[in-house]
Chain A
Amino acid sequence: MVKKLLIIGSVAGFLSGLLGIGGGSITVPAMVLWMNYSQKEAQGTSIFLMLFLGIIGFVSYSFHAVKLDFGIVSILTIGCLLGAFIGSMVAQKIDTSSLKKFFALYICFAGIKIFLI
């Protein structure tokens, strides 16, 4: 299991560094298809990983910051907290099959976008 996680982490990190692709689009499918995690477990574990990577990104970003409007960032953050709470609650309540289909649609859309840009 550790070997598989090592491979998933390296590939996800490598591709996100190289192509600027978010890690979750790689780690979630890899955990579901290769490690037999349930869709929810794969998403929860990926989010945990994202939190750490997000903090690292945030800290390194703050060294060469773009001037951002504090008011806009605050409103977005409030919205984001609220939205993330609702979204993750919905993810716990809906059945796995529907969640999987939503996820597949998202990945398909993201794939087309990456291909076109």
Chain B
Amino acid sequence: MIFLTAGIFGGFISGLLGVGTAAIYVPLMLYLGFGQLYAQSIALIMIVPASLISVIVYYKYGAVKFGGIFVLLLAAVVGSLIGSHLASILPVIVLRKLFGISMVYIAYKIWTKK
């Protein structure tokens, strides 16, 4: 029952806000007593069902913009390969702090955008 509830909660946030499942499932699985690697694997797997169902609903309501989507996809794949290779060279902890602060600022911009 607890896994069903966890599954529903993670899927709900992901579908509602259009975000990945890692930020939800990783802490959830850690809280339920699983290890970090196990939690990350679960989060990685759950992206597929969560986004599959959500994309069908968003598409049905005309909320998916297909223009240039493959450019976006290709850029994201290449970017992520470069990012993961540079993770051992760049000061990741400093960058995380900077990015964390930027996200709070972005939240403010989204909140106040008309």
Residues in B with CB closer than 8 Å to A16 are 76, 79-80, 83
- From residue A52, how far is it (CB to closest CB) to chain B in Å? 5
**B: interface residue count bin:** 35 or more
Q: Decide if the interface of chain B is mainly helix, strand, loop or mixed.
A: helix
A:69-94 near B, CB below 8 Å: 72-73, 75-92
Contact B18 A68 (CB under 8 A): no
Number of inter-chain CB pairs below 8 Å? 341
B:94-114 near A, CB below 8 Å: 95-97, 99-104, 106-111, 113
Which 10 A-B pairs rank lowest in CB-CB distance, beginning with the nearest?
Answer: A79-B7, A17-B83, A43-B18, A13-B79, A83-B11, A111-B103, A87-B15, A115-B100, A9-B75, A22-B20
Residues of A within 8 A of B (CB): 1-2, 5-25, 27-29, 32-33, 37-38, 40-58, 61, 65-66, 68, 72-73, 75-92, 99-108, 110-117
Query: What are 12 A-B contacts with C-beta separation under 8 Å?
Result: A9-B76, A17-B86, A18-B92, A28-B18, A48-B66, A56-B77, A68-B41, A84-B15, A86-B8, A100-B110, A111-B100, A112-B100
